[in-house]
Amino acid sequence: MSSTALYNLSTGGYVMSLAIFALHVVNTRRLLLRFGVALVAASFLVQTAGMVYRWMEAGVLEVHAAEKTLGAALSGWSWFVVFTQHPPWSNLYEIMIYMSWGITMATLACELKWQLAWVRQIGIILALMALGMASLNDATIKPLVPALKSWWIMIHVISASIAYASGSLAAFISLFAIIKSRVHRTQMMGCAVLFLGCLIFLLGGGLRLLRDQAYYVKLLSYAGDNIRNVMDMSKEKAASYLIPMPMVGPLLLLVVVIHILVGVFLLWRFSKIKDEEKLSGWAVIACLVSVLATGLIMFGHDIKRTAILVDGNISHHLFPAGPWFIGFKSHPWSLGLFIFVVFIEAILAIYWYWPQMVTKRLPDSAVLESAAYKAISLAFFLMSVVLITGALWAHYAWGRYWAWDPKETGALAIWLTYAIYLHARRTKGLSHTFSSVIGIIGFFVILIGFLGVNLGLFADGLHTYGNS
């Protein structure tokens, strides 16, 4: 038994509960729902046990390493300090596991308090996405670097993860609040598609594409059963050697253009014809298909690249380092973003074709809006704790309470987004729909602030030791 086995067990539980929730959409028996929620709770407990177990595993490793280095056995308080100094959220793998734990906890809290339809499904999907992201990273426990040997790591990272989890869930509750608040479907779709188009351009590498006239991916080398980044020996860390990926650049721009055209068309149509019956679903499907096609072409290219990189019997090497793995390792940000956009557009498409199915189960928009407000208030409070504890820790460890490091600035951007949300709610003349839109944008700011630095979207900063 190991922590990884417990994590796998909990992942299985989440997948099963998601299947039960999907079944509950067609068969609305209360027992089914209760069983699904109980399964989520049980899987959550298993994951918690896994985290506690991993803490113990890391503790044993730290004690062993310290004893070997010092040449003496530790005992008493010094043993306790070394044993507990390595919490299970000290690298990206553990952080993503911890994120999924936080999201599940927020989903369960939401379920206990409001029993919001769809939010439980979205929560579990987000938790599974976080677990999927975790699986792309190295799961081995390595000794903690000196800078992280501080008690501040406990409160700092705990607050950050719960804040990100509750902010993410709040974004989807806000989306449902907009859906429920009788905003015209065509108008909503137009705005959403325009927003997603801009997002793909800005975060999917559009600016770099215009500057370098090519889409680049990380060059990876094959080593045994693992795919490793090419090492830059002078810096003793993985370096991002980039190679151009043909076709993807123009396709990415095409996707952006399709989104913008569709968005503008839908908004124009809304201004001319306000008849719900005359909706044109092909527009949203075109967006969905364009994003899917570009993602699949990327995968196709990675499969070819795998054939070049992997010697001998390829099928033997497809698991665990399959083409999807190489794809994610070489351009995690773009593919992650694409999958997410597909996920959002799938929700929008479902709403477009079967609006009653989505809205009839949702409570009143005021209830949803209030739930989103509470979740964002919690996220805002915890983000303040993150910024304050981070500043205190940085002051004692580095001598600078604030260094405008990308991760620090990212956390500040999240905090500011939620401050805007809270002020927008109180500003006369701005509707709650407007603040809900900011709540949704908050999710993308979380992605930028939390993952942007780790996945190489921004310059290296003081937090980059958390990357691996």
Which residue, 357, 368, 360, 339, is CA-closest to 433?
A: 368
Q: What token pair was written down for 406?
A: 């990308």
Cβ of residue 466: shortest distance to other proteins, in angstroms?
15
**208 near other proteins (CB under 8 A):** no
Question: Distance between CA 443 and CA 449 in Å, rounded?
Answer: 10
**65 near other proteins (CB under 8 A):** yes
Among 4, 150, 181, 280, binds other proteins (CB under 8 A): 150
Please identify, using beta-carbon distances, which residue of 304 and 423 lies nearer to other proteins. Answer: 423
- Residues 425-454 as x/- pattern, contact with other proteins by CB under 8 A: -xxxxx--------------x--x---x--
Residues whose CB is less than 8 angstroms from the CB of residue 72 and which lie 6 or more positions away in sequence, other chains included: none
Please identify, using beta-carbon distances, which residue of 152 and 324 lies nearer to other proteins. Answer: 152
Cβ of residue 25: shortest distance to other proteins, in angstroms?
26
For residue 364, count other CB atoms closer than 10 A to its CB.
11
**363 near other proteins (CB under 8 A):** no
Dihedral through CA 6, CA 169, CA 200, CA 261, nearest 10?
140
| Total number of residues that touch other proteins (CB under 8 A) | 61
Residues whose CB is less than 8 angstroms from the CB of residue 116 and which lie 6 or more positions away in sequence, other chains included: 110, 173, 176, 362, 363, 368, 371
**231 near other proteins (CB under 8 A):** no
**224 near other proteins (CB under 8 A):** no
Is residue 72 classed as helix, strand or coil in its secondary structure? Answer: coil
Which residue, 244, 341, 264, 364, is CA-closest to 295?
A: 341
Among 80, 282, 353, 402, binds other proteins (CB under 8 A): 402
Please identify, using beta-carbon distances, which residue of 287 and 447 lies nearer to other proteins. Answer: 447
Question: Distance between CA 210 and CA 195 in Å, rounded?
Answer: 19
Per DSSP, 455 falls in state T
Alpha helical stretches, state H, 273-399: 282-309, 314-317, 323-330, 332-353, 355-359, 365-397
**215 near other proteins (CB under 8 A):** no
**205 near other proteins (CB under 8 A):** no
Question: Distance between CA 313 and CA 253 in Å, rounded?
Answer: 37
Cβ of residue 366: shortest distance to other proteins, in angstroms?
6
Of 46-54, 239-247, 302-310, 420-428, which part binds other proteins (CB under 8 A)? Answer: 420-428
**369 near other proteins (CB under 8 A):** yes
Among 8, 384, 433, 464, binds other proteins (CB under 8 A): 384
- Residues interacting with other proteins, by CB under 8 A? 65-66, 68-71, 142-143, 145-147, 149-150, 211, 366-367, 369-370, 373-374, 377-378, 380-381, 384-385, 388, 391-392, 395-402, 404, 406, 409-410, 412-413, 416-417, 419-420, 423-424, 426-430, 445, 448, 452, 458-461
